[in-house]
Structures are given as structure tokens and as C-alpha cells.
């Protein structure tokens, strides 16, 4: 490799809007550092990485002196893939456009080999993994043994701590007090006190408790109040109120000609019983001279004015004192039980030597705040890593930043380098602690330069233009929105945040795309007042018509379509609507394509369990039920002396497992098994690991012919040819109902803090409460607005938005309301209303090449198993295609039969023919499809399963359950008879082995249940369990 001149590289903070190539820039920077490391090894003139006040900086001395930090496993995998791909291209192994970093083929190949040989030093990792690395440096400070294990199972720790808490007899009285407080909140219902307490603690467990806060008794002393109970305080308040009201009313009577009759209505109706209710109205009139707010024109005599004002202000002060004491008193029980719960959790984690992934950065931050000195291990970490590349910095939490900041400062002050990228417009993770303002903190550090990526490489011309106009500050702050904002207590903060975040939202169009398809935008907003009762039907019909139009008329492939949804519960609705209407199109949702949900993985773990727990006959019996013919006894002998990893490899060599169609699942499982084997875990522990961690997912090839349905949050970082955003009606303003915080009591009680609920009254007289409340509302609003931005910037060529609006806007505006207010100003001639719909069409929707994957009218199509490979796309779940060889008419008949059976409850003495006919008519009316054969299937079912429709104790049809792994299960019918639970599943097709598994899954929802599968065509009953 020939030596090259040094290039100065400054520490850099880049603001990168959607589609501007930030991942490319990160990978390029990483590659430049690797190049400089290789050059330094050859003792050539090195590249300068400049930072702080240093004129030159240290060249990377090893691969592990460089670290790239991302926020998800998906992003980390993508960046690793990008860096390796660049090197392969430079080494001539593959061809593609790559940045010129001064590496020749031989050097690139050598670097690839070194990365493979030292892969553990190749640091492209997640923020959680890096926090774990830092935590290990502070293990001694936190009294944690360095070989601790990380757990993701927050619920198990909580459950064990809760049981310990309620079992403590000494805590019984305090728990009862806590229960009373929960019932007062009117959000906790039921007859089980323990369940109510558990639900309450679960809701409050994320609340941060600070040290040194005053309690109720402390506050009484601070205010010099002799009363000891809230009741005594209230009685004292009433006496004082009567005195002050008497003075005010006497003045009103004596000077009644001077007072405005309408203005004094509140003063005339106020008394000791309603003073707290009237507090807000009184506070509105408080000023330097309150009497002026009630007079016609002339002033009161000086002495009278002074007396009025003193009594008026005294009423407010009395009210505020009581509201504060009441707030602290009511929150104290919550604080006490939370403190005890957290202390028990701490003991549990210490005894088990485990650390929660969610608390790692908070633990580090807590140590650093105490300023006890920095551990030697932490210093060594700072010396070892000197070059930082950090992605998605706008999603960093305060505790994560506090944990990283000393290391970043060390790099800036020494001879390292810092490179961060982020986009405040894409900050949508406030709900998990992300704070976009932290991006400004690192940007404003000395020695860091700033830059912006202004070119959009992703989207077609019209889509870039649309987003430039919609998210322009002047358009966001239009008259309608500004009017709504003026009525919000956080209005100024929100306005300032919009200006700060969106001032550089404008993007340039990629010249290379000028001659391509210019792109198409279609917005459809329905008047909410008109369609409110039929909201779901509006969205259902809109989605069905649009998918039919895109796939059948414009010949888009399913893989070109991505549906983005704000709320996860609506994913299921959309999936069911589209799957029912388009049975021969495959759909993907984000509902976790987990290892544990795959039938082949379940079978593999079952075989492994039969070996590992050979004394348990249940596993062998389960294998018989699914017709698995592996000789467990012989296999147990064969695997003696093998490591767990070798055992799983051995198992996968059997023909019993479908490797061809499940390769990605098996590869992912072996990856985890290898890691656990290296940690000296036993076969039993590894099997249990997969059941305890049901969220382990595989990723899918984007070329799979399926429509993707996911939340907007999970779509961040993704893109698609065509994007559809239904349910565009989420709330922008979300005032908190139960906002509990530690609040500075100044100016009411200076230098003291208390834990209390910030409500509409408390924030009127405590400045810190007002600030915290406004910050919360602002943060919620910005996240909702940013979700609009993220959704609109995923599309490459076509963008469809379907939502609702209200003609009369108020301070409860939704995303649809805001978009409506913007589009009226941006596209006044094109955004027109017809009946209850407002529609904007911009550009031209282009027809694609013939879609060979099949459409709703294709009839019978040979089934192709979906291709699954491991790539960087996580959290996806495939709903496999139904067999297209089956006759469409048979499928419809099956759906009609199932729907009809869902309408039948108790049969009693009613005529079976009448029941069958009535259920059939109702189902066919709803489906818009008739097939008299269904009546016979229904009648036969009722005759053959008569015992489960007569003389029963109870039943549920199509009731949804969620199992321990988060899977949604919906048995056809559950019957309780003579204290026995029966799970009944109706089948209109042929027998399948998976039917037994399906019913088995249903049965596991209950402690003791029996299963029945009824095959309607053959009139055959199969009993399970």
C-alpha cells in the first residue's frame, strides 16, 4: 500500500434528515479509521483526527480502539454489513460503488482477514451493549460481582419483589393505606385488593424517586402547622376561610356600587365547603391589586382596598397550603411502597447476581453523580477506546449520556475523535427515556464541528417537495394550529421546540432521480363528526380498495407495499381485514417472528427436552402426538460427551426437521446456542433460556412477496416503494392523568422537595410543577409530530395517507387535524372537500411491470414456500400463505361455517334446524356470501357436539387470550361443564398434525383443560389430552 498525505478529520456532529445517507457516512468514517490503522501499522504517515485544542490526534492503534454505537441490533447489523461489504468491494470480492478511502485490493483483503481473526475487537455494537461494558468497569462500586448476568425479564423480578412485599405483616397497614390511595384515583377497579395493589405498583414502577424529599410530617413542621391529620387541617382551613370570606363580603356590601355584579359572582358563592373547588377561578384573578379585577371603574378607599386584597390573597394562600399538604399526604403511601419495592428488587438482583438491562445506564449515572472518583477499570476503558462513532444520537437518554460523557470528553481532550449523527425530527422514543435535546449538548461541546446532510437519496421528487412544504415551520405554525396552541399551558414551549427542530427540515432532491418516476402522493381525510360511529368501516373499505387498486390495477408487488400504523392494536385489525379479503396475498406484521413461535423450533426444543429431561415422560408423549419418530433412547447414547452446541447440530442432521424452509430459524437458534455454550451453560439451561426469552427473532429477506404491516416506530430506518399510513388520527396533545414527580416546593417552601401528583391546581402555584408539566406535554406533542414526519419520509415513490379531521379545531388536535390545517394553506386549489371527504392527489401513480406473484383474481396458484434468510430486518412475523391449491369456494365456506358457529351459545330446548338456519343467515348477511352447504355443517356440529351446547355452566366463543409469550390465541369455543374446561376447535378442511399443536397451545392457557377437534366434513371428533 502506497503512503498517502495526511487528511485532517475534525470531530463532527451531523444532523441528517430522513433518507440523507447517514448510515453510509458512518460506515465511510469507520472505514477511514480502519484504513488509517492499517497505514499506521505500516509506519506510514498517519491521518490526523483533530479534537479539542490538540493540533494532532492519535491514529487508531488497533481495531478495538474504534467503536461505533447504534441503538438497535438491526442498526448494528446493518452497519457491520455495510463496512464488510465496502471492504469486499475494495478487495475485489464483489462489485459496487464504494467510497475511496485509499485502500488497494491487497490491503483491503488483509484488513478483512484481520477483522475475521479478531472479530471480538470489531466494535459495532448497541448502546445497551456499550452500557454493559461500562457497568462492568463500575461493578465493584455497585457491589456487583463482575460475572453478573443480564436479564431482560423485568416482570419476574417485579413479581417476586411484590410477593415479598405483601407477605411482610409489618407492612400491612401501609399497604392498606396505599390501596385506599389507588381507589381514590378512580382508575383501579375490582374486588381483589392484592390485584389492585399490584396493578398500581406496576403502573408507578417507572417513577423516579429522589433522595431527600420531605414527607407529610416534615411539611407540617416546615409550615409550622400544629394539626397532625388531614382532617384536622381541613377543619382549621374552614375556620380561616369563614373569617376571610366574612371580611370580603362585608366590603362587597358596604361598597356594592363600586363592584361589577358579574365579576363578583364567584366571591358571592364561595364558602368554606367549596373553597378548593373555586381555587382555580380565584387564582385567575390574582394580581398585584386583585380588587381591581372586580370593580367597575373607581378604586376602593386605600384602607378598604388593603383589607380586601389581604383577605383575597389569604384565601388563595390557605387553599394552596391545603392542596400541597393533601398532595404530599396522598402521594406518601405510593412513595413508601415504591421505595420498599425497589429495595426488595435490589436485594433480589444482588442475591441472584443479575442486572436488568433497562437500569444499567441509570446505575452508572448514579455512581458518576456521587463523584466518588472514577474506577481504574473505567479509566482503562477510556484509554483503550479513543474513537467514537454514535448513530441516532437524538434517541439518547439522560442516563446514557451521563454514562458516556466522561469517555467522550476524554477523547475530545486527548488524542481521540468523536463523530455523531442524528435527526431531532426523528426523535420518537421519549417514552423509553430518549431526549432530543441531548443532541444539542454534544453538538455544543468545544472542539466539535457541525454539518447537515441536505440531499435526499431515498424519495422521489414529488414526495420530497410534499414533505418540504408540510414540515416547513411557517406551515406547521399556521393560524388554526397557533390558535389551538394559545389555549395550551405548554404552548410557548411547543412553539419554540417546533422552530428549533424543524428550522432545517428542507431537503434537496437527488439529481440522479430527476428523470425517474416523480412520485405520487394521495391524502384522504374524512370528517370525523360524520364517520365517527363508522370509523373502522371507513378505514376497512379504504384499505381494501387501495390494496386492490395497487396490486390489481397498477400491478405493484406485495413486497413493494408497507403499511405503517401508529398504534399496535390497529395492526391486528388491518391484518384481519386484508387477509380475509385477499387470502392469496401474504402479509408480514411486526408481531415478532420469534424462534419460539416456529413449529420446527418447537419440535427441536421438544426433542432436546426429551433428551435433557429423560426422566420426564411428558416430552416423549408430546413427540408421539406430533408423529416425531426420532429414537430418543438411542440418540441419548449417541450424544454423550458432546457440547450443547454439538447436540443441536446433531439433531438438525435428522430428516425430521425441515431445514430447507426454516434455515433462518435454525441459523439464529445455533447462533444463540453457540454463545451460551461458550458461557458454559448446560443443555437444560439453554433449553430454558429459549422459553424465558421468547422475543428472540429472526429477520427476513425483503424480497419475500408480502405486504409489510408495522408500527411507525419499528419502520424507522426502513423504506419502501409504496407507503400507506391509515389511522392518521392520533392525538397530538396528551395531558397526563397521573403525573407523579419529585417537585421543588419553591417559592411556597424554599429549599425543599416533595413527591406528589402534578395536577391542574398544583401547577398553578409551584413553578417547578408548572415547568415539569409543560415539559411533559411538550415532549408528548413533539413525539407525536415527529411520528408524522417519520411516517411521511419512508416512501420512495408513492405515499398514501388515510385519516380523519374536525372542521372546528381545538386544543385537542389530532395528526389528521394538523395535516388538514397545513394542506389548506399549502395546496389551496388541490385539497378540496367533496361530501365528507377531503382529498389531495399530487403526481401520477405509475403502473408497474406485470405482477407475477398473484392477485386477488388469480384463482389457483402453486404454493411457493416463503424464502427466509437472515438479514438486517427485525421484529417481523410471517403469516404463511394458505394453500392456494385449495378451492376458493371451500375457503369461503369454511369462513362462513366458523362465523356462524361463533353466534351459537346455549342451545337449550331450541330446535337444531332453527338454530342452524338463524346462525347461517346472520353469518351470510355479514359476509355477503351464501352457501347452503354451511347449514348442513352447522346442523351436524350441533348434533355431534350436543353435550357442549346443552346443560353447560358457561361458554366463550372466539375469545382472545394472550399466552406467556405474548402470542394472541383465539379458540373457537370454550365450554365449562361440571367444573371441567373444554377447548373446542372446528375444522372444515382435512386433518393436519398442526391442529393438535394448536389445540395443545389453547389448553396450556388453563391448568386443567380437555381439547376437542371437530372435523365437520367427516363428522369426526378427535379428543386431545
Whole-angstrom CA distances from 181 to 200, 331, 563, 761 are 10, 8, 43, 18
Q: What is the pLDDT of residue 463?
A: 96
CB of 781 within 8 A of CB of 732?
yes
Query: In this structure, are 187 and 335 located in the same domain?
Result: yes
- pLDDT tens for residues 196-224? 777 778 777 778 888 889 999 999 998 88
Q: Which three cell numbers stand for residue 759?
A: 395536577
Domain end residue (candidates: 331, 352, 373): 352
Band of residue 184 on the pLDDT scale cut at 50, 70, 90: low
Query: In this structure, are 588 and 599 located in the same domain?
Result: no
Residue 503: give its domain's CATH number: 3.40.50
Band of residue 879 on the pLDDT scale cut at 50, 70, 90: very low
Pick the more confident residue, 56 or 833.
833
In whole angstroms, what separates CA 379 from the centre of its chain?
Answer: 35
Residue 980: give its domain's CATH number: 3.90.320.10
Angle made by CA atoms 501, 505, 511, in degrees to the nearest 5: 160
Coil, helix or strand for 293?
Answer: helix
- pLDDT tens for residues 941-954? 999 999 999 988 88
Does pLDDT of 629 surpass 90? Answer: no
Average pLDDT over residues 820-842: 93
Residue 2 lies in a domain: no
Q: How far apart are CA 311 and CA 319, in angstroms?
A: 12
Q: How far apart are CA 902 and CA 984, in angstroms?
A: 12
Residue of 193, 150, 155 whose CA lies nearest to 175 = 193
Query: In this structure, are 707 and 827 located in the same domain?
Result: yes
Pick the more confident residue, 59 or 772.
772
Q: How far apart are CA 67 and CA 30, in angstroms?
A: 8
CB of 814 within 8 A of CB of 731?
yes
Residue 872 lies in a domain: no
For residue 1022, list its beta bridge partners: 1013
Query: In this structure, are 103 and 251 located in the same domain?
Result: no
Average pLDDT over residues 261-283: 90
Q: Which three cell numbers stand for residue 510?
A: 437527488
Q: Which three cell numbers stand for residue 512?
A: 440522479
Residue of 795, 814, 813, 793 whose CA lies nearest to 803 = 814
Q: Which three cell numbers stand for residue 1025?
A: 389430552
Domain end residue (candidates: 420, 453, 486): 453
CB of 507 within 8 A of CB of 455?
yes
Does pLDDT of 868 surpass 50? Answer: no
- pLDDT tens for residues 311-359? 999 999 999 999 999 999 988 888 888 888 888 888 888 887 778 777 7
Band of residue 104 on the pLDDT scale cut at 50, 70, 90: confident
Residue 977 lies in a domain: yes
Query: In this structure, are 599 and 586 located in the same domain?
Result: no
Average pLDDT over residues 405-431: 89
Mean pLDDT of the residues in the chain? 83
Q: Is 854 annotated as a binding residue?
A: no
Side-chain half-sphere CA neighbours of 437 within 13 A? 10
Pick the more confident residue, 198 or 247.
247
Query: In this structure, are 520 and 535 located in the same domain?
Result: yes
Q: Which residue has the cell 399466552?
A: 963
Q: Is 22 annotated as a binding residue?
A: yes
- Of the ranges 6-15, 178-187, 781-790, the best mean pLDDT one: 781-790
Band of residue 553 on the pLDDT scale cut at 50, 70, 90: very high
Q: What is the pLDDT of residue 207?
A: 81
Q: Which three cell numbers stand for residue 480?
A: 388554526
Q: What is the pLDDT of residue 426?
A: 94
Q: What is the pLDDT of residue 877?
A: 28
- pLDDT tens for residues 484-523? 898 888 999 999 999 999 999 999 998 887 677 899 999 9
Residue of 412, 415, 400 whose CA lies nearest to 449 = 412
Q: How far apart are CA 574 and CA 580, in angstroms?
A: 10
Backbone angles phi, psi at 1024, to 5 degrees: -120, 130
Q: Which three cell numbers stand for residue 674?
A: 453457540
Q: What is the pLDDT of residue 522?
A: 97
Does pLDDT of 610 surpass 80? Answer: yes
Whole-angstrom CA distances from 772 to 369, 426, 428 are 21, 23, 19
Whole-angstrom CA distances from 515 to 47, 461, 511, 556 are 40, 10, 8, 20
Coil, helix or strand for 825?
Answer: helix
Q: How far apart are CA 785 and CA 502, in angstroms?
A: 11
Whole-angstrom CA distances from 334 to 180, 269, 706 are 10, 35, 48
Side-chain half-sphere CA neighbours of 1011 within 13 A? 21
Q: How far apart are CA 220 and CA 237, in angstroms?
A: 14
- pLDDT tens for residues 1002-1023? 888 887 889 999 999 899 999 9
Band of residue 372 on the pLDDT scale cut at 50, 70, 90: low
Q: What percent of the chain has pLDDT over 90?
A: 36
Query: In this structure, are 910 and 812 located in the same domain?
Result: no
* pTM, rounded to two decimals: 0.73
Does pLDDT of 774 surpass 70? Answer: yes
Domain end residue (candidates: 321, 352, 383): 352
Q: What is the pLDDT of residue 371?
A: 61
Q: What is the pLDDT of residue 162?
A: 84
Q: What is the pLDDT of residue 6?
A: 43
Query: In this structure, are 233 and 340 located in the same domain?
Result: yes
CB of 70 within 8 A of CB of 125?
yes
Band of residue 4 on the pLDDT scale cut at 50, 70, 90: very low
Q: Is 23 annotated as a binding residue?
A: yes
Residue 270 lies in a domain: yes
Domain assignment of residue 27, given as a range: 8-148+363-453
Residue 858 lies in a domain: no
Contacts of 881 (CB under 8 A, 6+ apart): 584, 585, 586, 863, 866
CB of 165 within 8 A of CB of 373?
no
- pLDDT tens for residues 853-865? 333 333 332 333 3
Q: Which of 29-33, 753-757, 982-986 has the lowest mean pLDDT?
A: 29-33
Query: In this structure, are 265 and 406 located in the same domain?
Result: no
Average pLDDT over residues 293-309: 90
Q: What is the pLDDT of residue 646?
A: 87
Q: Which three cell numbers stand for residue 934?
A: 354451511
Does pLDDT of 54 surpass 50? Answer: no
Whole-angstrom CA distances from 593 to 74, 668, 700, 879 are 14, 12, 9, 9
- pLDDT tens for residues 447-462? 899 999 999 999 999 9
Q: How far apart are CA 285 and CA 293, in angstroms?
A: 6
Number of domains present in the structure of the chain: 5
Q: What is the pLDDT of residue 910?
A: 81
Query: In this structure, are 522 and 412 located in the same domain?
Result: no
Does pLDDT of 179 surpass 80? Answer: no
In SS3 terms, 355-403 reads as EEHHHHHHHHHHHHHHCCCCCHHHHHHHHHCCEEEECCHHHCEHHHHHH
Q: Is 608 annotated as a binding residue?
A: no
CB neighbourhood size of 888 (10 A)? 14
Q: What is the pLDDT of residue 320?
A: 93
DSSP readout, 646-690? Answer: HHHHHHTTSTTS-HHHHHHHHHHHHHHHHHHHHTT--HHHHHHHH
Band of residue 850 on the pLDDT scale cut at 50, 70, 90: low
For residue 956, list its beta bridge partners: 974
| 979 Rama sector, left if φ>0, alpha if ψ -120 to 50, beta otherwise | left
Q: What is the pLDDT of residue 198?
A: 79
Does pLDDT of 976 surpass 60? Answer: yes
Q: Which of 110-114, 115-119, 706-710 has the lowest mean pLDDT?
A: 115-119
The H or E element spanning position 300 is none
Backbone angles phi, psi at 72, to 5 degrees: -140, 155
CA-based diameter of the chain, in Å? 106
Q: Is 17 annotated as a binding residue?
A: yes
DSSP readout, 848-897? Answer: PSP-TT--TT--S----PPP----S--S-EEEPPPPTTS-HHHHHHHHHH
Q: How far apart are CA 162 and CA 184, in angstroms?
A: 21
Q: What is the pLDDT of residue 359?
A: 78
Q: How far apart are CA 234 and CA 326, in angstroms?
A: 9
Query: In this structure, are 159 and 272 located in the same domain?
Result: yes
Q: What is the pLDDT of residue 859?
A: 32
Residue 867 lies in a domain: no
For residue 955, list its beta bridge partners: 975
Residue 129 lies in a domain: yes
Contacts of 785 (CB under 8 A, 6+ apart): 476, 498, 732, 818
Q: What is the pLDDT of residue 620?
A: 79
Q: What percent of the chain has pLDDT over 70?
A: 88
Q: Which of 293-307, 714-728, 950-964 has the lowest mean pLDDT?
A: 950-964
Q: How far apart are CA 634 and CA 630, in angstroms?
A: 9
- pLDDT tens for residues 894-923? 888 988 898 898 887 788 999 999 889 887
Q: What is the pLDDT of residue 873?
A: 25
Q: Is 403 annotated as a binding residue?
A: no
Average pLDDT over residues 247-269: 91
For residue 840, list its beta bridge partners: 523
The H or E element spanning position 451 is strand 448-453
Q: Is 682 annotated as a binding residue?
A: no
Query: In this structure, are 931 and 972 located in the same domain?
Result: yes
Q: Is 107 annotated as a binding residue?
A: no
Q: How far apart are CA 476 and CA 257, in angstroms?
A: 49
Helix H segments across 444-478? 461-470, 473-476
The H or E element spanning position 991 is none
Polymer length of the chain? 1025
Pick the more confident residue, 653 or 310.
310
Residue of 710, 818, 732, 845 whose CA lies nearest to 475 = 818
Residue 423: give its domain's CATH number: 3.40.50.300
Residue 358 lies in a domain: no
In SS3 terms, 580-625 reads as HHCCCCEEEECCCCEHHHCHHHHHHHHHHHHHHCCCCHHHHHHHHH
Amino acid at each position: 500500500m502506497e503512503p498517502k498525505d495526511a487528511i485532517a478529520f475534525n470531530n463532527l456532529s451531523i444532523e441528517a434528515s430522513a433518507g440523507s445517507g447517514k448510515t453510509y457516512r458512518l460506515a465511510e468514517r469507520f472505514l477511514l479509521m480502519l484504513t488509517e490503522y492499517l497505514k499506521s501499522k505500516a509506519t506510514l504517515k498517519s491521518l490526523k483526527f483533530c479534537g479539542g485544542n490538540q493540533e494532532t490526534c492519535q491514529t487508531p492503534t488497533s481495531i478495538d480502539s474504534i467503536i461505533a454505537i447504534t441503538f438497535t441490533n438491526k442498526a448494528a447489523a446493518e452497519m457491520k454489513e455495510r463496512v464488510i461489504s465496502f471492504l469486499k468491494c475494495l478487495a475485489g470480492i464483489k462489485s459496487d460503488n464504494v467510497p475511496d478511502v485509499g485502500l488497494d485490493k491487497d490491503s483491503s483483503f488483509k484488513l478483512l482477514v484481520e477483522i475475521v481473526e479478531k472479530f471480538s475487537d470489531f466494535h459495532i455494537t448497541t448502546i445497551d451493549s456499550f452500557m454493559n461494558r461500562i457497568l462492568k468497569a463500575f461493578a465493584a462500586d455497585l457491589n456487583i460481582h463482575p460475572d453478573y448476568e443480564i436479564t431482560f425479564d423485568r416482570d419476574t423480578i417485579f413479581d417476586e419483589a411484590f410477593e415479598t412485599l405483601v407477605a411482610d405483616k409489618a407492612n400491612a397497614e401501609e399497604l392498606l393505606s396505599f390501596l385506599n390511595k389507588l381507589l381514590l384515583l378512580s382508575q383501579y377497579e375490582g374486588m381483589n385488593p392484592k390485584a389492585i395493589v399490584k396493578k398500581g405498583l406496576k403502573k408507578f414502577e417507572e417513577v423516579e424517586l429522589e433522595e431527600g424529599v420531605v414527607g407529610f410530617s416534615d411539611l407540617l413542621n416546615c409550615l409550622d402547622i400544629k394539626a397532625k391529620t388531614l382532617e384536622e387541617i381541613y377543619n382549621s382551613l374552614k375556620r380561616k376561610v369563614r373569617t376571610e370570606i366574612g371580611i370580603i363580603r362585608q366590603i362587597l356590601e358596604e361598597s356594592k356600587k363600586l363592584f361589577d355584579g358579574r365579576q363578583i359572582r364567584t366571591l358571592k358563592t364561595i364558602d368554606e365547603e367549596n373553597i378548593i373547588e373555586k381555587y382555580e377561578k380565584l387564582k385567575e384573578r390574582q394580581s398585584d391589586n386583585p380588587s381591581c379585577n372586580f370593580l367597575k371603574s373607581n378604586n376602593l378607599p386605600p384602607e378598604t382596598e388593603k383589607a380586601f386584597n389581604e383577605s383575597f390573597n389569604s384565601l388563595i394562600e390557605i387553599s394552596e397550603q391545603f392542596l400541597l399538604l393533601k398532595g404530599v399526604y396522598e402521594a406518601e403511601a405510593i412513595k413508601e411502597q415504591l421505595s420498599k419495592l425497589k429495595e426488595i428488587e435490589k436485594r433480589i438482583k444482588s442475591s441472584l447476581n443479575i442486572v436488568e438491562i433497562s437500569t444499567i445506564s441509570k446505575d452508572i449515572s448514579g455512581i458518576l453523580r456521587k463523584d466518588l472518583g472514577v474506577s481504574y477499570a473505567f479509566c482503562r476503558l477510556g484509554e483503550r477506546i479513543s474513537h467514537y462513532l454514535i448513530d441516532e444520537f437524538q434517541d439518547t437518554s439522560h442516563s446514557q449520556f451521563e454514562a458516556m460523557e466522561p469517555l467522550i470528553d476524554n477523547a475530545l481532550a486527548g488524542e481521540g475523535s468523536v463523530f455523531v449523527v442524528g435527526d431531532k425530527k426523528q426523535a420518537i422514543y421519549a417514552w423509553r427515556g430518549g431526549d432530543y435535546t441531548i443532541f444539542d449538548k454534544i453538538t455544543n461541546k468545544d472542539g466539535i464541528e457541525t454539518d447537515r446532510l441536505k440531499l435526499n437519496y431515498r424519495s422521489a421528487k414529488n414526495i420530497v417537495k410534499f414533505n418540504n412544504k408540510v414540515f416547513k415551520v411557517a406551515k406547521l405554525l399556521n393560524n388554526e394550529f397557533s390558535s389551538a396552541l394559545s389555549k395550551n399551558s405548554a404552548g410557548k414551549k411547543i412553539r419554540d421546540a417546533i422552530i428549533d427542530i424543524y428550522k432545517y427540515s428542507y431537503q434537496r432532491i437527488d439529481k440522479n432521480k430527476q428523470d425517474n418516476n416523480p412520485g405520487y402522493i394521495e391524502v384522504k381525510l374524512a370528517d370525523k363528526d360524520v364517520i365517527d360511529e363508522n370509523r373502522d368501516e371507513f378505514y376497512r373499505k379504504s384499505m381494501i380498495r387501495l390494496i386492490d387498486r395497487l396490486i390489481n390495477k397498477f400491478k405493484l408487488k406485495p413486497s413493494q407495499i408497507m403499511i405503517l400504523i401508529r398504534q399496535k392494536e390497529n395492526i391486528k385489525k388491518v391484518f384481519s381485514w386484508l387477509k380475509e379479503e385477499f387470502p392469496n396475498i401474504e402479509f408480514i406484521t411486526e408481531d415478532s417472528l420469534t424462534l419460539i413461535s416456529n413449529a420446527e423450533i418447537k419440535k427441536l426444543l421438544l426433542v432436546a427436552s426429551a433428551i435433557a429431561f429423560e426422566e420426564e415422560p411428558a416430552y416423549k408423549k408430546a413427540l408421539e402426538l406430533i408423529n416425531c419418530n426420532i429414537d430418543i433412547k438411542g440418540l441419548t447414547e449417541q450424544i454423550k460427551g458432546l457440547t450443547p452446541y454439538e447436540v443441536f447440530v446433531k439433531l438438525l442432521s435428522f430428516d425430521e426437521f425441515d431445514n430447507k424452509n426454516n434455515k433462518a430459524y435454525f441459523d439464529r437458534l445455533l447462533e444463540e446456542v453457540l454463545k451460551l455454550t461458550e458461557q458454559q451453560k448446560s443443555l437444560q439451561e439453554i433449553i430454558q433460556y429459549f422459553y424465558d426469552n421468547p422475543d428472540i427473532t429472526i429477520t427476513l429477506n425483503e424480497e419475500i412477496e408480502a405486504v409489510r404491516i408495522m408500527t411507525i416506530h419499528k419502520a424507522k430506518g426502513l423504506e419502501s416503494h409504496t407507503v400507506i399510513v391509515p389511522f392518521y388520527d392520533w392525538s397530538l396533545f396528551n395531558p397526563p392523568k397521573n403525573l407523579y414527580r419529585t417537585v421543588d416546593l419553591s417559592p411556597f417552601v424554599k429549599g425543599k422537595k416533595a413527591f406528589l401528583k402534578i395536577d391542574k391546581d398544583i401547577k398553578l402555584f409551584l413553578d417547578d410543577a408548572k415547568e415539569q408539566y409543560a415539559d411533559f406535554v411538550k415532549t408528548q406533542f413533539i413525539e407525536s409530530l415527529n411520528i408524522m414526519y417519520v411516517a411521511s419520509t419512508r416512501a420512495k415513490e408513492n405515499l398514501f395517507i388515510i385519516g380523519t379531521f374536525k372542521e372546528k379545531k381545538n386544543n385537542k388536535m389530532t395528526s389528521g387535524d394538523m395535516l388538514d390545517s397545513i394542506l389548506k394553506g399549502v395546496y389551496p386549489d388541490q385539497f378540496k372537500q367533496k361530501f365528507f371527504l377531503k382529498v389531495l392527489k399530487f403526481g401520477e401513480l405509475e403502473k408497474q411491470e406485470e405482477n407475477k406473484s398473484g392477485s386477488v383474481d388469480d384463482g389457483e396458484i402453486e404454493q411457493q414456500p416463503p424464502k427466509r434468510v437472515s438479514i438486517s430486518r427485525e421484529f417481523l412475523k410471517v403469516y404463511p400463505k394458505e394453500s392456494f391449491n385449495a378451492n376458493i369456494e371451500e375457503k369461503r365456506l369454511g369462513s362462513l361455517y366458523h362465523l356462524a358457529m361463533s353466534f351459537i351459545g346455549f342451545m337449550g330446548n331450541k330446535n337444531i334446524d332453527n338454530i342452524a338456519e338463524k346462525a347461517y343467515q346472520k353469518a351470510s348477511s355479514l359476509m355477503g356470501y351464501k352457501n347452503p352447504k354451511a347449514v348442513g355443517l352447522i346442523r351436524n356440529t350441533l348434533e355431534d357436539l350436543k353435550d357442549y351446547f346443552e346443560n353447560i355452566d358457561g361458554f366463550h366463543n372466539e375469545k382472545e387470550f394472550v399466552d406467556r409469550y405474548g402470542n394472541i390465541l383465539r379458540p373457537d369455543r370454550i365450554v365449562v361443564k361440571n367444573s371441567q374446561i373444554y377447548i373446542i376447535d372446528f375444522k372444515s378442511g382435512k386433518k393436519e398434525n398442526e391442529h393438535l399443536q394448536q389445540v395443545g397451545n389453547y389448553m396450556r392457557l388453563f391448568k386443567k383443560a380437555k381439547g376437542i377437534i371437530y372435523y365437520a366434513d367427516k363428522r369426526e371428533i378427535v379428543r386431545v389430552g
